[in-house]
Structure 1
Amino acid sequence: LGVNVALEQYDDEEGEELEAALARIAEGGFVWVRQSFYWSQIEPEPGRFDWTVPDRIMTALARHPQLRLVAVLDDSPPIPPADRSTALPSSSLRTSTAGPDACILLAGLAPTIETGPQNLSDVRYLEQLYQAGAAPYFDVVCGKPYGFDTGPDDRRADETVLNFSRLLLLREVMVAHNDAGKAVWASHWGWNALPPTWTGVPSLWGQADETTQAARTVAALERARAEWPWAGALILEHFQPAAGLDDPRWGFALVSPEGTPRPVYDAVAAWATALPDAAPVGGYPAYNPWATYEGDWRVGPLGADAGRSTALTTGSGGDRAAFRFAGPAVALTVRRGPYRAFLYVTVDGSPANELPRDETGRAYVVLYDDTPTVATVSLATGLSPGPHTVEVVAEGGQGQWALVDWRVGTEPVRENFGWQIAGLAAAGLVLAALLIRDVRRVEWGALRQRFLDWPEWAQVALVVGLTGILWATASASWVHDLSLVSCSPCTAFCFFLSLLTMPLLAAL
């Protein structure tokens, strides 16, 4: 859970305004604060730097360790056209060398249904980034799934629809390019609720009343937690925008210009407070309220990285990670590669029942792989509703950030499953027998003669018409975008001929 902020606007000499804003954000249960740093302020002229504002913000954030910063470098110097193709790789390299836990977020992709030439759909833009080979240069994809005029229960995932479900379309692009191991964040999202007496600039993001805004925001958080294990931080727009009072962004604000919390803030704070002391079904990054780390672990946006643990050879405490959850199944996403390392796993003090065991009876996860890969490993299933505690002890793997995320799952329904299959099979046999009986009653010779007695043009029209109907209905069922059919005339022609064969044979 995160929120966009403009902390630079709190500039009183005593720093009380900034401190009060950060305290209220922390009290609301937020973890991430997304703050822009403007290059025109940092380097007002070439070679002269002024770090006054960034230093003031970073110093204040250090007093609130529960808050984590998403830093956005905005208003950057213009990049010459000749250098633009190398801008992302070079900035990625520099960010990576700044620290092993540094994480590069793709800029939030603005939602639009336009397909060019001036504006391009966020879905198509991401597709073009992958085609250009940009995948190695970012760690997280960011979208802006504003709700607009419908709630989070609007499950239409369509490029021509602007809604909260739009984040699914970005995920589908990532999966299609074998990049499913990365998370999808919402850099901006929410519902706009301006007062009925609003006379400022109209909202571009639809409109709702404050009660509906609060209810939809909480429902969206619940949906993401229950259905989107691949989702990372959901960063609301906005805590208190640094904008004029006629700016429609105030419709997103959690806090009014006077500093009074709005209903959406109260609803989100209550939701965060009511979270159980054990993680319910869903996916969770390495850093979450239910995970604890002992030893030399480093935890960041990429996951958790174990130190040089000697626990298994010296009997010391070593590097241990624990995760408290409520659910019948638990899994762990790991980052494997050509290095020797193991994770030894227990659930409620017993070896994890889905893992192999070594000669001493310890359940373990092998982290070695010939090629770097991200995989989700089932640790235990068939558990009671809980709560439970899974504990991981690391052996090796320093610098690999092997622990990516935790996942709590539900068991598939198996009760009376065999009887259901048997019943369906019996019903199918009965229907097949009835079909054979009816087919044998048809006088095929007389039917064939009647068809041949028709004029030739009528025979052709019947065959072409029936085949066309079959082709159209099959296309509507199998092709998500009917325009794709026309993009492949060879495939369509072969399909047409294949359907044409049976009625032609019957006509002979």
Structure 2
Amino acid sequence: MRILTRLGQICQSLYREGERGRGGEGENFLPLSHSPTLPRVFQTIFRVLQAAALAALLYALAAPPPILVTLGSQQVVRTTNPKVGVHTRVTDEVEEWKIKKNFEMVREMGATWVVEYFPWEYIENDEGNFDWAHADLVVDHARRQGLTVIARLGFVPRWARPKDSVTSYLDEARYPAFAHFAAEFARHFAGRVQHIIIWNEPNLNFEWGYRGVDPAGYARMLQAVYARVKKVDPSVQILGGALAPTLAPPGTPDALNDLDYLQQMYDAGARDYFDALAIHAYGWNAPADEAPSPRRVNFRRTELLREIMIKNGDASKRALITEGGWNDHPRWTKAVHPAERITYTLRAYDLCQTWDWIDACALWAFRYPFPAQSYLDYFTFLTPEFDPKPIYWEVQKYAAR
């Protein structure tokens, strides 16, 4: 409306300037639409602007009022397997009703755990200034649906990294800044979020700022964060690892084998600086039951990570699967048939129920706010429009059996 009004003012001004140029006084003008001396083009423009302004006014009057969203009453998840979970991605969901609906449908499916991403840059875009508004919406709506939130932290803001570097680049000199953010996160969400994952897949080059991966450097990151968070809230569980399952051989520039990386974390002293191990358990083409092997990426590779924990004196430490699952893209080489995906997923939830050292099995990914337009869309349980896929209904039946 303001733009249209301004255009009308410009037309009026042009007309008056034209009159002055012909010796007019600029006073006692007829309305523009009736002026006999106004160039025809300005008359046409003015009529169009009048019509557009009227249309805009009518549209504004007819537009529905904003949707009022409330948390609603406290809900409880009804499930026969309390380890069932999903990795949600409402990080970039801007409409509150969609955030609420997302978690409602997680609960209705029978999942009790959600992993959600809380980017450092989104919350502390300027050093020392924290904006918790969106994060509060996410956590509060999830909790009101009876869900337990596992928070993943990462995504370095511009002020904390070199110019032209990527958001996964965090120099060791900035570990204290990240630790401070993690501590403020724990303080703000005290009693609401009890599980925090530190970083994501640090055994991949692109998740480590496109530098050589560094298990010892990651161990020092854990140490810096652990001390600050525990000082704020000793009850918060710090989750380390979150390693990408990969068979990358030694010396590969892009990645380090997850089994080797975990052992090198222990060698660097990481044991004292995480309370539980976050595990990424992708099955790719293999059934959930396929036996674990150092030469295979499959769901039960999880057991090999557990063996490394035991070997390093961490038998009493818990583990949580915070990513994993299967993809049913029709052409991707690592995908399976949709029916196989359902079978393997339900079997994976069953396996986790038998593993007494696993607390949660949050598979990737419940729903994206918008299509990825790639094979990634075939990991989801819902479409962006909240249409359930067959796997959603099958997990719901599984959890209600």
Q: Does 1:128 align with 2:281?
A: no
The equivalent position to 1:137 in structure 2, one of 263, 273, 277, is 273
Alpha carbons of structure 1 residues 243 and 126: separation in structure 2 relative to 1, 3 Å: farther
Partner of 1:503: none
- How far is 1:242 from its partner? 4.2
**Contact conserved, 2:381 with 2:389, CA < 8 A, in 1?**
yes
* Amino acid aligned to 1:40: E
For 2:264 and 2:271, how far apart are their aligned partners in 1?
A: 11
Partner of 2:293: 158
For 2:121 and 2:352, how far apart are their aligned partners in 1?
A: 37
Alpha carbons of structure 1 residues 220 and 58: separation in structure 2 relative to 1, 3 Å: closer
Partner of 2:363: 236
- How far is 1:233 from its partner? 0.8
Partner of 2:149: 69
Partner of 2:112: 31
> Cα deviations across residues 387-415 of structure 1 (Å, max 9, x unaligned)?
xxxxxxxxxxxxxxxxxxxxxxxxxxxxx
**Contact conserved, 1:107 with 1:142, CA < 8 A, in 2?**
yes
Partner of 1:184: 319
Unaligned runs of 5+ in 2: 1-83, 162-169, 176-216
> Cα deviations across residues 225-274 of structure 1 (Å, max 9, x unaligned)?
23x22122111100112454413221110112321111211111111111
For 2:380 and 2:220, how far apart are their aligned partners in 1?
A: 37
The equivalent position to 2:352 in structure 1, one of 214, 224, 230, is 224
- How far is 1:209 from its partner? 1.8
For 1:247 and 1:10, how far apart are their aligned partners in 2?
A: 19
Q: Does 1:264 align with 2:366?
A: no
- The 3-state SS of whatever aligns with 2:376 is helix
* Amino acid aligned to 2:149: L
For 1:208 and 1:62, how far apart are their aligned partners in 2?
A: 33
**Contact conserved, 1:215 with 1:267, CA < 8 A, in 2?**
no
Q: How many residues get paired?
A: 262
Q: Does 1:80 align with 2:171?
A: yes
- How far is 1:162 from its partner? 0.8
For 2:294 and 2:279, how far apart are their aligned partners in 1?
A: 13
Alpha carbons of structure 1 residues 33 and 42: separation in structure 2 relative to 1, 3 Å: same
- How far is 1:87 from its partner? 2.6
Alpha carbons of structure 1 residues 41 and 218: separation in structure 2 relative to 1, 3 Å: same
For 2:300 and 2:142, how far apart are their aligned partners in 1?
A: 32
For 1:176 and 1:7, how far apart are their aligned partners in 2?
A: 38
- How far is 1:116 from its partner? 3.0
> Cα deviations across residues 135-157 of structure 1 (Å, max 9, x unaligned)?
010011122121111101211x2
- How far is 1:96 from its partner? 1.8
Q: Does 1:170 align with 2:305?
A: yes
**Contact conserved, 1:241 with 1:249, CA < 8 A, in 2?**
no
* Amino acid aligned to 2:139: M
For 2:312 and 2:128, how far apart are their aligned partners in 1?
A: 41
The equivalent position to 1:149 in structure 2, one of 285, 292, 302, is 285
1 or 2, which has the higher helix percentage?
2
Unaligned runs of 5+ in 1: 275-508
Cα RMSD of the aligned pairs, angstroms, is 1.9
The equivalent position to 2:250 in structure 1, one of 103, 113, 116, is 116
- How far is 1:121 from its partner? 0.6
- Greater relative CO, 1 or 2 (CA 8 Å, sep 6+): 2
For 2:271 and 2:243, how far apart are their aligned partners in 1?
A: 15
Q: TM-score when scaled to structure 1?
A: 0.49
For 2:128 and 2:350, how far apart are their aligned partners in 1?
A: 48
**Contact conserved, 2:368 with 2:383, CA < 8 A, in 1?**
no
Alpha carbons of structure 1 residues 265 and 158: separation in structure 2 relative to 1, 3 Å: same
For 1:58 and 1:218, how far apart are their aligned partners in 2?
A: 27
- The 3-state SS of whatever aligns with 2:110 is coil
**Contact conserved, 2:367 with 2:384, CA < 8 A, in 1?**
yes
For 1:217 and 1:263, how far apart are their aligned partners in 2?
A: 12
Alpha carbons of structure 1 residues 252 and 262: separation in structure 2 relative to 1, 3 Å: same
- How far is 1:188 from its partner? 0.8
Identical aligned residues as a percent: 28
Alpha carbons of structure 1 residues 135 and 243: separation in structure 2 relative to 1, 3 Å: farther
Partner of 1:406: none
For 2:114 and 2:172, how far apart are their aligned partners in 1?
A: 33
* Amino acid aligned to 1:20: K
Alpha carbons of structure 1 residues 246 and 124: separation in structure 2 relative to 1, 3 Å: same
